[in-house]
Chain A
Amino acid sequence: MSDAPESVKITINGVEIEAPAGEMLIKVAEEHGTYIPRFCWHPRMKPVGLCRMCLVEVETPRGVVLVPSCVQPVADGMIVETASPVALKAQEGVLEFLLVNHPLDCPVCDRGGECPLQDQVMSYGPGESRFVEEKRHYEKPVPISDLVLLDRERCILCARCVRFSDEISGDPLIEFQGRGNTTEIFTFPNEPFASYFSGNTVQICPVGALTAAPYRFRARPWDLQTIESTSPFHTEGSRITVHASQNQVMRFLGVDNGPTNQGWLSDKERFGFEFIGSPGRLRTPMIRENGELREASWGEALIFVAERLKEIIERSGPDAVGAIGGAQGTNEDAYALSKFMRAAVGTNNLDAQLDDGLNPDFLVGVGSRARIDDLETANTILVWSADLKEENPILYLRVRRAAQELGATLIVVHPARTGLDDVAAHKFGYRPGDGSDLLADLAAGKDGFAAARDALQEGPLVVIVGRTGLAESGGLAEAVASFAGDLPGVSIMPIVRRANTFGALDMGVAPSLLPGRIPARGAEAPLVELWGAIPVSRGLDTVGMLAGLRSGELKALIMVGADPVRDVASGSRAAEAIGAAEFTVAFDLFLTDSAAMADVVLPAEGFAEKEGTVTNLEGRVQKVNRIVPGPGQARPDWSILDGIAEAMGSPIGLQSAETIAKEIATVATAYEGITWDLLEWEAREGAVVPHGDAQQPLEYVAVNAEQPQQTKGLGLHLARTLYDDGSAMRHSLSLAKLAPGMSAGLSPDHAADLGVEAGNQVTVSIGNVSFTCPVRIDPSLSNRTVAIPFNQPGIETLDAAAPISVVAGGPS
């Protein structure tokens, strides 16, 4: 990495300013208050100087010349005129050229009112068109994917969408076609713009050429209220703006938060806003009576839940109650759950992780924790986790950028093909279950691993570890981290999938942790003063609680935004467990498969309906904000929990999300000083905990965990896809249809053995569940591994631990 650039003095419109050498003139000018019009330039993409809108005059040894300021690095002594008569004439000229073929359909254009072209015509444009010839004609908006429409007549050919897709997201599916005056942007015939990031092109299109199907014609910009918030979808904590009109959320846009999403969003988080206003939202509390759920008042429901819980606690003790969830909401809600379980119930049976199933102490306590920005300076990056493109798409973009643009050496270890393979210097696959063997080979720098092993020695090194699939042991990630911990210049990023898992863990929603990353047995004042006596024995995790329900050891289950039936690897066994429980209560936005089995269902407020904070995978705390009211009688989780505690006669004293935030800052060392005010004003980028001089409270040494060897039968790689049958997806109309459905990934040799090709049908049996699905060929898979996407619509939940078999052909 180069040293900090020297600074140079330049003169813009007569004013001398200082700027870092090599910075582009357009950016320097803007930072010093001179806005130069532009279309193709985008701060997060390589400058291309195509549109020529940003022409300014620069004095050079060869005289004064017109240069595009977006590709002109500043140099000492440079004298620039951005609005001289020649520069202005050139800018007006370009604008007139752009309008030559641009339709005059602003009144019906989604971009009308927030269109840079429209704006610039107002400020720089010629009055009247001198172009009397016929304009270019194309078929009006054509859908180029399920989410995006393209109107080529409006396109000004700035190539932002093309460059984004190629340079940033690595899906070059939309390209210039043709030449000269008939150049157009288009996809390959019958090959849709099926990118997980397609919505970003809509956001960065400077005109209304690309529009999003979920937003089309829904609102005009001047009718929208806007608030900044943090995306509820991925653990990276993308910064967004939420736009609403008449109490309906209309869209999300990405905000350029440097340390996290840098303006980009996955399509799931961009278009997932639809679930908020879904007609399927729960609106009233419901109590099961004679096998049927009936509506109830809050008063009745809270008392009902409180009495059932009290009765079970009195009969079987507090450890007969457990709670799953809390990773979908705010830190304040998670804190309330943590306090409720410890203070009102008196148990450590609570867990925020459903599927990742990693050791919570490891997740929050691993040493040398990496920040996402460490990727910018990394020499080497090791990704041994889920396919980031599917589960952590923003991290995927950042790793891709590091490998592709910043020259980091990327090593990917994963049982199947991943989205990063094409930019990886080294890719290693293995049969699920054999990960520890591969780790040993890599650590030893065995044949074929030597170059990668050497690269690992070249710090700064960032190691991203997580579970590669649901059928694999979580211990492997700890073993990888343990190996990596000794490498020079290492920082480690343990990752999970569900949005606010790290926030929930930090709030103590884990069988072994208390708020502020301290062990359950380590409670001190002021926590003890506020919470009273805290149980010290380690509680049950999700798997343990589900087993406990089946065995009868656990009697009651509280599900807080959790749907174990769809979300744990062995969903069928989760259903059995819920069925076996004496009492279950679900707080949720929807009547999920799990909630549908509960005794009491309580409507919760969701994203955009409540205020609070969330914590991303690097420990960055950011604010989420309210812009619409919740549906019907929905309440925030903390208030429901407070109400139950009150009715149980063990009040936990919660008044508002904001007072909870203050309580968190008091009791959780790591969160000291993190106030809403701070996050709203000075720390708009978020504040990373522990921060300042505070030390990481929990010290955790990852162990070289023993890996259970799988039997030598077929291995199962069960992995999530970005789009699946999760409840937010189900209730986002535009996204629901994008789940890829079931398929069986086979290695080429395995397919050949079975006599099948890509697209042929095979029948897969896992335990006593069988289904027929098409074959995908994945050369990265080991020969004895079948890759199955997790949680697809219309497929029964599976038992990931059961034996698997594949035969050619469909049902006979």
Chain B
Amino acid sequence: MSEPPLILTARMHAHPETSHTIATFEATGGYTALRTALDMGREAIVEEVKAANLRGRGGAGFPAGVKWGFLAPARPAYLVVNGDESEPGTFKDRQLMERDPHQLVEGTIISSLANEVNHAFIYIRGEYPKPARRVQAAVDEAYSAGYLGTNILGSGYDLELTVHLGGGAYICGEETALLNSLEGRRGEPRLKPPFFPAVRGLYMAPTIVNNIETLCNIAWIINNGGNAYSAIGPEDSPGRRMCSISGHVNRPGNYEIVEGITWRELIYEVAGGIRDGNELKAWVPGGASAPWFVPGEHLDTEVTKAAIDSNGSMTGSGAVIVMDHTTDMVAAAERLVRFFAHESCGQCTPCREGTTWLDMILRRMLAGHGRATDPDVLYDVSDNISPGVTWPPKMTTICPLGPSAVSPVASLLKHFPEEVAAAVERGTQVPVSIGMRV
């Protein structure tokens, strides 16, 4: 079987210096999908996307076509593109925005059309001014060229597209927090139920939230058909997806992969193996929230959604963080927990108090003041955030951020109990209290 074509990064590879311009975009078939889509009409577009079985690339992996089918009938409806990309290890959406913004804009217009949306938003994290500039420039060009605004290409269809810059808060990547943020509120996740965006989203109107990468696939699907897309890769998670690889590998970066290879192939061939000839110790298979994989158990399992799920982790944002044998795993866990504690929105008790508590215990252990009871307390506090400490998580919290902080702790206790024990043993019994980090 021949290697399937690049879908997301083809243009930036072929035109490294001008892939972001409308000229290059149009010269390489850009905006033809939009013309086709305008002729197809709403339902046919949704059908193609359903046929493609395109899964969301933001984390939850929900099929985009099915999600669109849930959009409640009330109008106005909104489309919000999630460019908050903040999950540690993830930097794929940045590349898609910086290097091929028109691909995103075209996908956004077609998706808006498919969902009877007349005002769409692209929410980009505040620390991404450069991607935001690129996207805004593309939006401006699209307005000038008649792809946006009123009566697009003479079709009678109107669409406004607003680029919105975040203010620095990971939680705004969670879709309902993002909607609150876009409404000018604190980025606190909403309760689901009752606030499912497809029914009560932005301004309580029906709203579709999709990830940047998800929408970057849309034009290709319209041009080539949903079936062509679903023919690529595994049946359950077809197409190509971006995989951000970072950490102790020789060739970190974004790779547009087809699922089905093994982790060994991904880490040793695609990413060039472990730096300095070191040994692989563990990796995070799907963004900081995902429970860890270890070579002994997982190296020869497949990189497919099905295999990752059945091994108790998740594809998540597609980010792979690789750690070699020099890594202090207690410290690595602390770094991950610290992130979630810092980014907790703070509205629900178990996450606000529990993530910080976990972080304090780990920091105390690292500071040489571990206690014999620490492993049990770590586990039980985790259990009180995420009962049963399983994945996908059960939650005492409103959103999955709290349980995300449990992942590294659970992984640490499960795969590296001897490092935990060693940290406790190193502990002097001098009582210290670890203050809160602000």
Interface residues of B in 129-170 (CB under 8 A from A): 169
Chain B residue with Cβ nearest A65 = B394
Q: Mark B346-388, 1 if CB is under 8 A from A, else 0.
A: 1111101111110011001000000101000100100111010
Chain A residue with Cβ nearest B434 = A133
In the complex, which of the residues B345, B350, B383 contacts A180, with contact meaning CB atoms closer than 8 Å? B345
Is B237 an interface residue, CB under 8 A from the partner?
Answer: no
Is B186 an interface residue, CB under 8 A from the partner?
Answer: yes
Chain B contacts of A180 at CB under 8 A?
A: 341-346, 352, 355-356
In the complex, which of the residues B194, B345, B357, B396 contacts A52, with contact meaning CB atoms closer than 8 Å? B396
A90/B396 in contact, CB under 8 A: yes
A93/B343 in contact, CB under 8 A: no
How many Å from the CB of B139 to the closest CB on chain A? 30
* Given A49-B191, A132-B371, A55 and B433 contact (CB-CB distance below 8 Å): no
Q: How far is the CA of A785 from the CA of B377 in the complex (A)?
A: 69
Chain B contacts of A188 at CB under 8 A?
A: none
A133/B433 in contact, CB under 8 A: yes
How many Å from the CB of B418 to the closest CB on chain A? 23
Is A157 an interface residue, CB under 8 A from the partner?
Answer: yes
B384/A89 in contact, CB under 8 A: yes
How many Å from the CB of A190 to the closest CB on chain B? 22
In the complex, which of the residues B347, B364, B396 contacts A93, with contact meaning CB atoms closer than 8 Å? B396
Q: Mark A331-349, 1 if CB is under 8 A from B, else 0.
A: 0000000000000000000
* Given A94-B349, A180-B343, A133 and B431 contact (CB-CB distance below 8 Å): no
Interface residues of A in 84-138 (CB under 8 A from B): 86, 89-90, 93-94, 96-98, 100-101, 130-134, 136
Is B1 an interface residue, CB under 8 A from the partner?
Answer: no
B435/A134 in contact, CB under 8 A: yes
In the complex, which of the residues B350, B373, B394 contacts A94, with contact meaning CB atoms closer than 8 Å? B350
Q: Mark A174-185, 1 if CB is under 8 A from B, else 0.
A: 001011111100
A49/B352 in contact, CB under 8 A: no
- Assign chain B's interface to a size class: 35 or more
Most chain B C-beta atoms within 10 Å of own C-beta, residue among A101, A131, A180: A180
In the complex, which of the residues A49, A89, A93, A181 contacts B346, with contact meaning CB atoms closer than 8 Å? A181
Q: How far is the CA of A97 from the CA of B341 in the complex (A)?
A: 14
Q: Mark A46-66, 1 if CB is under 8 A from B, else 0.
A: 001111110100000000011
Q: How far is the CA of A66 from the CA of B397 in the complex (A)?
A: 10
Chain A residue with Cβ nearest B431 = A132
B384/A93 in contact, CB under 8 A: yes
Chain B contacts of A131 at CB under 8 A?
A: 357
How many Å from the CB of A452 to the closest CB on chain B? 25
B353/A101 in contact, CB under 8 A: yes
A93/B434 in contact, CB under 8 A: no
Chain A contacts of B345 at CB under 8 A?
A: 179-180
Chain B residue with Cβ nearest A97 = B353
A181/B353 in contact, CB under 8 A: yes
How many Å from the CB of B8 to the closest CB on chain A? 33
Q: How far is the CA of A134 from the CA of B361 in the complex (A)?
A: 11
B353/A52 in contact, CB under 8 A: no
Chain A contacts of B396 at CB under 8 A?
A: 52, 55, 66, 90, 93-94
Is A71 an interface residue, CB under 8 A from the partner?
Answer: yes
A98/B353 in contact, CB under 8 A: yes
Chain A residue with Cβ nearest B342 = A180
B191/A181 in contact, CB under 8 A: no
Q: How far is the CA of A97 from the CA of B353 in the complex (A)?
A: 6
B346/A179 in contact, CB under 8 A: yes
How many Å from the CB of A161 to the closest CB on chain B? 15
How many Å from the CB of A82 to the closest CB on chain B? 15
Q: How far is the CA of A94 from the CA of B353 in the complex (A)?
A: 9
Q: How far is the CA of A96 from the CA of B349 in the complex (A)?
A: 10
* Given A133-B357, A180-B343, A157 and B433 contact (CB-CB distance below 8 Å): no
How many Å from the CB of B86 to the closest CB on chain A? 14
Q: How far is the CA of A133 from the CA of B359 in the complex (A)?
A: 11
Chain B residue with Cβ nearest A181 = B356
- Assign chain A's interface to a size class: 35 or more
A133/B360 in contact, CB under 8 A: yes
Q: How far is the CA of A179 from the CA of B380 in the complex (A)?
A: 25
Chain A residue with Cβ nearest B344 = A180
Chain B residue with Cβ nearest A99 = B353
A50/B361 in contact, CB under 8 A: no
The secondary structure that dominates the B interface is loop
Chain A contacts of B395 at CB under 8 A?
A: 66
* Given A49-B398, A100-B357, A93 and B350 contact (CB-CB distance below 8 Å): yes
Most chain B C-beta atoms within 10 Å of own C-beta, residue among A130, A132, A156: A132
List the count of A-B residue pairs having beta carbons below 8 Å apart: 113
Most chain B C-beta atoms within 10 Å of own C-beta, residue among A53, A66, A98, A133: A133
Chain A contacts of B342 at CB under 8 A?
A: 180
Q: How far is the CA of A96 from the CA of B357 in the complex (A)?
A: 11
Is B438 an interface residue, CB under 8 A from the partner?
Answer: yes
Q: How far is the CA of A684 from the CA of B332 in the complex (A)?
A: 63
Chain A contacts of B350 at CB under 8 A?
A: 52, 93-94, 97
* Given A51-B349, A100-B353, A134 and B433 contact (CB-CB distance below 8 Å): yes
Chain A contacts of B434 at CB under 8 A?
A: 133-134
Chain A residue with Cβ nearest B438 = A182
Chain A residue with Cβ nearest B361 = A133
Chain A contacts of B436 at CB under 8 A?
A: 133-134, 136, 181-182
Chain B contacts of A176 at CB under 8 A?
A: 186, 346-347
Q: How far is the CA of A752 from the CA of B436 in the complex (A)?
A: 53
B347/A50 in contact, CB under 8 A: yes
Chain B contacts of A130 at CB under 8 A?
A: 373, 377, 380
Q: How far is the CA of A52 from the CA of B34 in the complex (A)?
A: 46
Q: How far is the CA of A55 from the CA of B350 in the complex (A)?
A: 12
A52/B349 in contact, CB under 8 A: yes
B364/A86 in contact, CB under 8 A: no
Q: How far is the CA of A507 from the CA of B131 in the complex (A)?
A: 76
How many Å from the CB of B398 to the closest CB on chain A? 7
How many Å from the CB of A258 to the closest CB on chain B? 25
Chain B residue with Cβ nearest A158 = B349
B349/A50 in contact, CB under 8 A: yes
B397/A52 in contact, CB under 8 A: yes
Chain A contacts of B194 at CB under 8 A?
A: 71
B191/A48 in contact, CB under 8 A: yes
In the complex, which of the residues A53, A93, A181 contacts B344, with contact meaning CB atoms closer than 8 Å? A181
Q: Mark A182-214, 1 if CB is under 8 A from B, else 0.
A: 110000000000000000000000000000000
Q: How far is the CA of A159 from the CA of B348 in the complex (A)?
A: 11
Chain B contacts of A101 at CB under 8 A?
A: 353
Chain A residue with Cβ nearest B364 = A133
Q: How far is the CA of A90 from the CA of B373 in the complex (A)?
A: 21
Q: How far is the CA of A117 from the CA of B269 in the complex (A)?
A: 57
Chain A contacts of B371 at CB under 8 A?
A: 132
In the complex, which of the residues A48, A65, A96, A181 contacts B352, with contact meaning CB atoms closer than 8 Å? A181
Q: Mark A205-228, 1 if CB is under 8 A from B, else 0.
A: 000000000000000000000000
B191/A98 in contact, CB under 8 A: no
A181/B341 in contact, CB under 8 A: yes
Chain A contacts of B357 at CB under 8 A?
A: 97, 100, 131, 133
* Given A53-B349, A97-B349, A98-B353, A179 and B433 contact (CB-CB distance below 8 Å): no
Chain A residue with Cβ nearest B193 = A71
Chain B residue with Cβ nearest A95 = B349
Chain A residue with Cβ nearest B340 = A180
How many Å from the CB of A86 to the closest CB on chain B? 6
Q: How far is the CA of A90 from the CA of B380 in the complex (A)?
A: 11
27 sample A-B contacts, Cβ–Cβ < 8 Å, listed by A number: A50-B347, A50-B349, A52-B398, A71-B193, A90-B396, A93-B350, A97-B354, A97-B357, A97-B384, A101-B353, A130-B373, A133-B357, A133-B360, A133-B364, A133-B433, A134-B434, A136-B436, A159-B347, A176-B346, A179-B344, A180-B344, A180-B345, A180-B346, A181-B341, A181-B352, A181-B355, A182-B346
Q: A134-B435, A157-B347, A181-B356 are in contact. List 11 more A-B contacts (CB 8 A).
A: A50-B348, A89-B384, A93-B383, A93-B384, A94-B396, A100-B353, A157-B352, A176-B346, A176-B347, A180-B352, A183-B346
- In the A-B complex, the 6 residue pairs with the smallest Cβ-Cβ separation, listed nearest first, are A93-B384, A183-B346, A97-B353, A134-B433, A180-B344, A133-B360
